[in-house]
């Protein structure tokens, strides 16, 4: 096994991919605003990593634009063939390739039910981009490793642009600073991540938890650990974790907690870390500042950015952790077994 991977190289490309994406998409906020004037609610259509990005979009829009946002159940369209009045809905379909038939078909179904549509995709000229009223085509470049890294963070950036277009009171300048924050994160020493990798070797499962804006990061981090490390990783909101599943956290099943360095969900994340530690289970942190670090066995710092931007940065240490752990376990992080870049479902 080599000491480098395509996945790690693509992780390093994220600042440039984000800058190119923001340059391309910020001029489209007026087009998004026009669709926003015709609609009231937002329906996200996605699967896999794109679905985790949609969770971020949902929190962002509801917390900052005053719009109800929900996740679609594509089988309602593709399997049940149900008809729903979507005349006041903006359907936002997210797919890195833009070629997943289920997502394309569900967006077209939404339009047929009266919705206006936005596509978020890295596939310029793809069926998804060509079918939408407005296409937010990210500029991640070709992604060769199967686990999504730069296509995921550019999706988050596209959803932040969507929120700006839909009237969210967010600072465009802060968004433009997101690539610099990732560069700072990439420049950090890997020593703390290496220490966590050392402790994860040999475990069969882990719980990854966050809440609010960081919930999307917990879901995506858990997915990466499942995809590339074959770890039984559960991504959970800490509120859901406390309703029973916390029983699985023990000396052999660590908790990885993710949090912004500020914001209303940080105190609850710190309290969860203290509870897990008191139960004798290992607990590791990504982000959360000194407060969360003090409550955990090991922690990886995250850039000090506003809570609404934190998920774009928080996922980067989790991506590196996944890549390192996969190689340490003797797996190829670029080509996990049984997976491809485009997953077709029905």
Q: Let me know the angle formed at the C-alpha of 322 by 317 and 328, rounded to the nearest 5 degrees.
A: 125
Question: Tokens for 74?
Answer: 């594509």
Cβ distance 228 to 323 under 8 Å?
yes
* CA–CA gap between residue 154 and residue 158 (Å, rounded): 6
pTM value? 0.95
- Count of Cβ atoms closer than 10 Å to residue 24 Cβ: 17
pLDDT of 236: 85
Q: Let me know the angle formed at the C-alpha of 98 by 93 and 99, rounded to the nearest 5 degrees.
A: 120
> Which pLDDT tens digit goes with each residue over 44-64?
999 999 999 999 999 999 999
* CA–CA gap between residue 92 and residue 111 (Å, rounded): 11
User: Which domains does the chain possess?
Assistant: 6-181 (3.40.50.10490), 188-328 (3.40.50.10490)
**Sequential DSSP letters for 147-180:** S-SHHHHHHHHHHHHHHHHTT----HHHHHTHHH
- Give the DSSP H or E segment for 319: helix 310-328
> Which pLDDT tens digit goes with each residue over 61-76?
999 999 999 999 999 9
pLDDT of 155: 98
pLDDT exceeds cutoff 80 at 2: no
pLDDT band at 337 (very low <50, low <70, confident <90, very high): confident
> Which pLDDT tens digit goes with each residue over 231-283?
999 998 877 777 665 667 777 889 999 999 999 999 999 999 998 888 888 99
> Which pLDDT tens digit goes with each residue over 9-53?
999 999 999 999 999 999 999 999 999 999 999 999 999 999 999
Percent of the chain residues topping a pLDDT of 90: 86
**Sequential DSSP letters for 250-307:** BTTB-EEEEE-SSSTTHHHHHHHHHHHHHTT--EEEEE-HHHHHHHSSEEE------G
């Amino acid at each position: 096994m080599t000491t480098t991977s395509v996945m790690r190289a693509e992780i390093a490309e994220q600042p440039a991919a984000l800058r190119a994406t923001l340059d391309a998409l910020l001029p489209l906020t007026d087009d998004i605003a026009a669709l926003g004037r015709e609609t009231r609610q937002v329906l996200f259509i996605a699967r896999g990593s794109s679905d985790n990005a949609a969770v971020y979009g949902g929190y962002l829009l509801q917390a900052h634009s005053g719009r109800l946002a929900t996740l679609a159940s594509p089988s309602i369209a593709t399997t049940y063939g149900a008809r729903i009045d979507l005349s006041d809905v903006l359907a936002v379909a997210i797919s890195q390739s833009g070629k997943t038939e289920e997502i394309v078909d569900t967006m077209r179904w939404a339009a047929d039910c009266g919705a206006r549509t936005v596509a978020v995709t890295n596939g310029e000229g793809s069926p998804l981009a060509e079918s939408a009223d407005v296409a937010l085509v990210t500029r991640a470049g070709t992604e060769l490793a199967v686990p999504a890294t730069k296509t995921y963070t550019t999706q988050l950036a596209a959803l932040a642009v969507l929120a700006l277009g839909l009237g969210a009171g967010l600072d465009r300048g802060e968004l433009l600073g997101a690539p610099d924050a990732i560069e700072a994160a990439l420049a950090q020493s890997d020593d703390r991540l290496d220490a966590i990798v050392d402790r994860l070797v040999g475990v069969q499962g882990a719980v990854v938890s966050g809440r609010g804006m960081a919930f999307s990061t917990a879901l995506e981090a858990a997915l990466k650990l499942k995809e590339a490390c074959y770890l039984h990783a559960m991504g959970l909101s800490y509120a859901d974790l406390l309703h029973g599943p916390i029983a699985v956290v023990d000396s052999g099943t660590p908790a990885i907690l993710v949090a912004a360095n500020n914001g209303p969900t940080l105190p609850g994340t710190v309290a969860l870390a203290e509870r897990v530690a008191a139960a004798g289970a290992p607990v590791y942190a990504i982000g959360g500042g000194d407060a969360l670090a003090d409550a955990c066995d090991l922690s990886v710092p995250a850039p000090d950015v506003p809570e609404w931007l934190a998920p774009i940065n928080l996922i980067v240490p989790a991506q590196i952790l996944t890549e390192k752990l996969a190689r340490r376990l003797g797996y190829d992080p670029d080509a996990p077994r049984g997976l491809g870049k485009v997953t077709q479902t029905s």
